Amino acid sequence: MRDPDRDYGRLRDIIQAADHIAAFTEGYSQEQLLADKLRYFAVVKNVEIIGEAAFMLSLEFKEKHSQMPWNDIIRMRHVLVHGYATILPELLWQTALVDVPILKKQVEAIVNSLPDRAFPNDTANQKSQSAKIDEIVHETAIATLRAAIWPRSA
């Protein structure tokens, strides 16, 4: 069962992944992004993270915020993970540059509208720990992508 107390953290994951996508695409054209495999797969991974975070939101939360395109977000994640060979670069580019910034603003508005008491287990210390974990996960993801793209010679 999905835990409603964790919804806030999942929303933060969406915002953070959106920030990563913005950083990875800033100053790049679609062609440049496609040529830079490390950046390209970093964008793919962060779109996947957004989809996974949306999938892991509690059903109650998604029903309460039914104006959000949760199913589309989750389907995009499924395509990237399971149909990776069918990824259309134009669709990924559209998602990264248009859809994700809109989603980020919508999620930020939801987060800002939530009363602090909605997440009693989210203390300042947990937020700090979460930031440290996010940094470690990000570094690990980059190292994994590098290893996948530029494997060491045997």
Q: Quick one: pLDDT at residue 3?
A: 63
Q: Is the backbone of residue 27 left (phi > 0), alpha (psi -120 to 50) or beta?
A: left
How do residues 1-11 score in pLDDT, each as one tens digit? 566 678 999 99
| pLDDT, averaged across the chain | 84
How do residues 69-82 score in pLDDT, each as one tens digit? 999 999 999 888 88
Please identify every residue annotated as catalytic: 77, 82
How do residues 44-57 score in pLDDT, each as one tens digit? 999 999 999 999 99
| CA distances, 98 to each of 22, 101, 145, 148 (Å) | 10, 6, 24, 28
Asked if 41 and 48 count as a contact pair (C-beta separation under 8 A), the reply is no
